[in-house]
Copies of this chain bind each other. A is one copy, B any other.
């Protein structure tokens, strides 16, 4: 393998969205006197609207729309469903930016810092640039640049999301390693010629997670326990 750049899925792979969004919602609910909504359930329900919202774009029914906008539309549906009414726009905006304030998995910063010594490292996420930059500054993620859906104007697993990210680095897909905790993401990357690394995140969905516990060997070139292990497997 002649890998020059590592691209990363972010939600679930680099950061723990479930715990972080739950924490953000709990703090918000306490500040606003909202009761009777379970924060973990709220985070999980919000995330459940993620793929359907992007599917509108992927299917061509809707022009490309930034994830911050899709997240906000989903949030409005959710607060209505839970009967949380009358929140001012500024509060909705603040809560929506919970996705900008996600905590990294414990190994992420150290692993990325090691990988950065030898490789270009960048997110190839469905998150938009502002979201990725805010998250990185807060969490200390040392990206070289921000690639992914916004620069491609296409959501993963659409091929263009991966290919546009490779083109922006002037690299051929075999010189790019896609890193994710989700086999479906790696399968899509592999089908476009990228190399792939699976990093298990068995608690992304909390205790009792049943999916993506093991790499799918049909589409995974490297399997690693975490980012530090990945760096070691890549000679760092």
Interface residues of A (CB under 8 A from B): 68, 120, 128-130, 132-133, 136-137, 143-147, 150-151, 168-171
**A120-B133 in contact (CB<8A):** yes
Please give the distance in Å from A53's CB to the nearest CB on chain B.
18
Q: Which residues of B lie under 8 Å from residue A144 when comparing CB positions?
A: 133, 136-137, 143
Q: Which residues of B lie under 8 Å from residue A68 when comparing CB positions?
A: 170
Q: Which residues of B lie under 8 Å from residue A168 when comparing CB positions?
A: 128-130, 150
Q: Identify 9 residue pairs between A and B in the complex whose beta-carbon atoms are under 8 Å apart, listed by A's number.
A: A128-B168, A129-B145, A129-B151, A129-B169, A130-B171, A133-B145, A137-B144, A150-B168, A151-B151
Please give the distance in Å from A135's CB to the nearest CB on chain B.
11
Alpha-carbon gap, A79 to B133, bound state (A):
41
Alpha-carbon gap, A137 to B171, bound state (A):
16
Question: Can you name the residue of chain B whose Cβ is closest to the Cβ of A132?
Answer: B145
Please give the distance in Å from A153's CB to the nearest CB on chain B.
10
Please give the distance in Å from A157's CB to the nearest CB on chain B.
22
Alpha-carbon gap, A132 to B122, bound state (A):
13
13 further A-B contacts with Cβ under 8 Å, apart from A136-B144, A143-B145, A151-B151, are A120-B133, A128-B168, A128-B170, A129-B145, A129-B147, A130-B169, A130-B171, A132-B145, A133-B145, A137-B144, A143-B144, A150-B151, A150-B168
Alpha-carbon gap, A144 to B144, bound state (A):
7
Alpha-carbon gap, A133 to B4, bound state (A):
12
Alpha-carbon gap, A18 to B132, bound state (A):
34
Q: Which residues of B lie under 8 Å from residue A128 when comparing CB positions?
A: 168, 170
Instruction: Pick the 7 closest A-B CB pairs, nearest first.
Output: A130-B170, A145-B146, A129-B168, A133-B145, A130-B169, A133-B144, A120-B133
Please give the distance in Å from A70's CB to the nearest CB on chain B.
14
Q: Which residues of B lie under 8 Å from residue A145 when comparing CB positions?
A: 129, 132-133, 143, 145-146
Please give the distance in Å from A128's CB to the nearest CB on chain B.
8
